[in-house]
Chains A and B, each alone.
Chain A
Amino acid sequence: MYSEKVMEHFLNPRNTGTITNADGVGEVGNASCGDIMHIEIKVNNDVIEDIKFQTFGCAAAIASSSMLTELVKGKSLAEAEKITNKSVAEALGGLPPVKMHCSNLAADALRKAIEDYRRKFAKEGA
């Protein structure tokens, strides 16, 4: 059902938890569909210096959150924004078709966190 990579990330998720004084916070999903992803980022000079996630959901949801954090940590915001749910799934060696839509939302959560950061940053700049 799941690839080895998915299982590996699910069993040993990277970058879990929260960040004190995070610069950006993003959350997607809802409890009724069974998946919620919460992502927090620390940004320095337009680079994602740190990223943490918390996820309520199935193995695919947890693995894709973990994979996303690995893919974007240390990347510039512009690079990070290019990452899609699809590329996360590809990096995991694929996800079961039924899980592609409901459980593969990590990139959406990251985009929300980046938006949140930009909003905060714009305010501070003004």
Chain B
Amino acid sequence: MRTVYLDHNATTPLDPEVYKVMEPFIVENFYNPSSVYSRSRKVREKVEEARAKVASLLNASPEEIIFTSGGTEANNQAIIGGAKANAGKGRHIITSAAEHHAVLDTCLRMEKEGFEVTVLPVDEYGRVLPETLEKAIRTETVLVSIMYANNEVGTINDIKTLAEIAHKNGSLFHTDAVQAAGKIKVDVKDLGVDMLSVSAHKLYGPKGIGCLYVKKGTKIESLLTGGGQENKMRAGTENVPAIIGFGRAAELTIERGTELENHIKDLEKILREGIKERIPDIIFTGHPEERIPGCVSVCFKYIEGESMLLLLDQRGIMASSGSACSSKSLKASHVLLAMGISHEIAHGSLRLSLGKDNRMEDVEYLLEVLPPIVEKLRLISPLYQGGR
């Protein structure tokens, strides 16, 4: 059966070019980069080369990059480590209602540590409006964490302006850039952030590796103690093959430049227009312009997302939904609800996220397969008057 992968915001396929450079470090060059013999030193060199490549992707210095087990750990490290190390300023944290759970739940967990947390509302597109941050920020605000791009609807926040507001107040600013890196330019200097999280598997790198950018001079506490790796910021023997793969994935992202962005934008345009033309009673979610390329989030009225996903899967198409039934929590997407979308409509959400290997035929296939699926489910839905 034909398969079409349209879930690149969940994870991306490992680029064979990336695997090629990782492979020798799985079996052959297994050495611990911290040992003294020459073969270990060679591995260390490769780890540091990878760090420089990742730094270059973000316009950071290599010493500002801490490798972590992924985006989740980077977010945990930034929030817990940043808030605790600077608690002298105050014990107030600000985040937004549309954050990934790795940020939202970590901030809320800090309440148990005596921090007060303000969760900023978002507008109908999922953006944090600068004025809401200005109103919420106070002298005791130690940390502000607001995502660069949203994983469900793709909306991009005005990080530069938000970071300025935090800095005027003397607060640290962290952004979760997991969905941005690899899709749009991420320049830590231009954004003016103190900390920024990235995950390798969202940019055709391996799973289990990510990084936290920590601006020089920023005080943070480490989460793990032990052997003093990562400049004493992240103990534990380095995940060498993954780090090397991350480095290559970063390098390839730089090489691809805006070429990939344009390819994906072209496909996305046809996908959106095709859905709009073929299926009535739909709502596109996310910002109409300020959006990462390739993320099409759309709600189909009268039907439920998990049913849609399973029927798409029957035809070889892989996608996601913010429906309660497709989540482990049985709750509809907190992002869509925060944007003011009703439960009923949020249940009918579908997220299609394009990637570098998608071709026009994939979009055409989706446009051929999706309308009858929506129609089939609508015809058996009690909410759909056309079916009665």
Q: List residues of A whose CB falls within 8 A of some B CB.
A: 7, 10-11, 13, 16-18, 27, 31-38, 53-62, 98-99, 102-103
How many inter-chain residue pairs (CB < 8 Å) link A and B? Answer: 77
For B382, list chain A residues within 8 Å (CB): 27, 36-38, 54-56
A33 to B304, CA, bound (A): 11
9 smallest beta-carbon distances between A and B, as pairs: A58-B325, A31-B344, A38-B382, A32-B343, A54-B382, A58-B306, A16-B380, A34-B324, A56-B381
Residue-wise, chain B 286-307 has the 8 Å CB interface mask toward A (1 for contact) of 0000000000000000111011
A55 to B302, CA, bound (A): 10
Partner of B310, one of A10, A38, A53, A102: A10
What chain B residues lie within 8 Å of A56 (beta carbons)? 302-304, 347, 381-383
Ordered by A's residue number, 8 sampled pairs between the chains whose C-beta atoms are within 8 Å are A13-B380, A16-B380, A31-B347, A32-B343, A32-B344, A34-B323, A53-B380, A58-B307
Residues of B with C-beta under 8 A to A55: 380-382
B383 contact from A11, A36, A58, A61, Cβ within 8 A: A36
Assuming the contacts A13-B380, A98-B328, asked whether A34 and B304 have C-beta atoms less than 8 A apart, the reply is yes
Within 8 Å by CB of A54, from B325, B330, B381, lies B381
- Whether A33 contacts B324 by the Cβ 8 Å rule is yes
A103 to B325: give the CA distance in the assembly, Å.
Answer: 9
Report chain B residues within 8 Å CB of A31: 342-344, 347, 383
Q: How far is the CB of A52 from chain B (nearest CB, A)?
A: 10
Is A57 a contact of B304 with CB atoms below 8 Å? yes
**B379 proximal to A (CB < 8 A):** yes
- What total of chain B residues lie within 8 Å of the partner, measured CB to CB? 26
Which residues of chain A are within 8 angstroms of B380 by Cβ–Cβ distance?
13, 16-17, 53-55, 62
- Report if B314 contacts A (CB, 8 A): yes
Q: Is the Cβ of A57 less than 8 Å from the Cβ of B307?
A: yes
Return B86 CB to nearest CB of chain A, in Å.
40
How far is it, in angstroms, between the C-alpha of A18 and the C-alpha of B381 when the chains are bound? 11
* Cα(A71)–Cα(B224), bound, Å: 57
Query: Which residues of B lie under 8 Å from residue A103 when comparing CB positions?
Result: 325
A53 to B302, CA, bound (A): 15
Residues in B whose Cβ lies below 8 Å from that of A36? 382-383
Asked if B387 lies at the interface with its beta carbon under 8 angstroms from chain A, I say: yes
Residues of A within 8 A of B343 (CB): 31-34
Kindly provide the distance from the CB of A21 to the nearest chain B CB, expressed in whole angstroms.
14
User: Cα distance A82–B347 when bound, in Å?
Assistant: 32
Residues of chain A within 8 A (CB-CB) of B306 are 58-59
Chain A residues whose CB sits within 8 angstroms of the CB of B342 once the complex forms: 31
Residues in A whose Cβ lies below 8 Å from that of B112: none
Chain B residue at smallest Cβ distance from A29: B382
Instruction: Give the docked Cα–Cα distance between A10 and B373 (Å).
Output: 12
**B326:A58 contact, CB within 8 angstroms:** yes
B314 — which chain A residues lie within 8 A by C-beta? 11
A84 CB to nearest chain B CB (Å): 22
Question: Besides the contacts A10-B307, A36-B382, A58-B323, what 6 more A-B pairs have beta carbons closer than 8 Å?
Answer: A36-B383, A55-B380, A55-B382, A57-B325, A58-B325, A103-B325
A57's closest neighbor in chain B, by CB?
B304
Contacts of B344 in A (CB 8 A): 31-32
B135 touches A (CB below 8 Å)? no
CA distance A13 to B304 in the complex (A): 16
- Is B2 an interface residue when CB atoms closer than 8 A count as contact? no
